[in-house]
Amino acid sequence: ETPYRKVLDGKVSDDVEYLSAIEENEYVIAQANALTDAKNMLAEQFVPCRFQGESLLKPPSEVHFMDVSPMQTVSVAAALVPFLEHDDANRALMGANMQRQAVPTLRSQKPLVGTGIERAVARDSGVTVNALRGGVIEQIDAARIVVKVNEAEIGGG
């Protein structure tokens, strides 16, 4: 299941409903980057949507849901390919597959070009260690990481 924002009479609400791939086929779903005005009304006369696997334009009154994110329809691996929307299909597929085959490095480096979701992917992977407070790493070995916590962040109790 994936989240969608509800749309009633052309107004995009903050209510989120989760739909399966089978259920989403029954509804007209607007793209996440469809223009809205200050009152969260769909602003265009015809909105880019998908319905039963087809891309089409529909008036706002016929839209049932809106994507939460423009990257919602692609996998995490594909979403990590920079400028995916400007690549042809074969290049995008190769980029996603190459990420799946990537080998971890001994010294990690930030990518030169990113998509902005790298932090969320790492956090949500479940294999990272996240500190609850800021500090300085004093020691690392295979079994533990010792962090000297910032004095200002140490709470009583």
Answer yes or no: is pLDDT of 77 > 60: yes
The dihedral through the CA atoms of 44, 1, 3, 6 has a sign that is positive
In the chain, the DSSP E strands lie at 2-8, 11-19, 29-30, 47-51, 54-58, 65-67, 135-140, 145-149
Q: Which CATH architecture has domain 2-67?
A: Roll (2.30)
State the Cα–Cα distance between residues 3 and 71, nearest whole angstrom. Answer: 12
For the whole prediction, is pTM greater than 0.95?
Answer: no
CB atoms within 10 A of CB 35: 10
Work out the average pLDDT over 10-29. 92
Residues 22-41 have pLDDT tens digits of 999 999 999 988 999 999 99
Amino acid at the residue 146: V
pLDDT digits (tens, 9 = 90+) for 82-105: 888 777 888 888 888 888 787 777
d(CA 13, CA 112): 37
Torsion of CA 65, 69, 72, 73, to 10 degrees: 70
Mean pLDDT of all residues in 140-149: 89
Instruction: Give the Cα-Cα-Cα angle 50, 54, 60 (nearest 5 degrees).
Output: 30
State the Cα–Cα distance between residues 146 and 34, nearest whole angstrom.
47
Mean pLDDT (whole number) for 33-51: 91
Token pair 């004093």 is found at 138
List the domain boundaries for the chain. 2-67, 74-149
Local confidence band at 13 (pLDDT 50, 70, 90 cut-offs)? very high
pLDDT > 60? residue 156? no
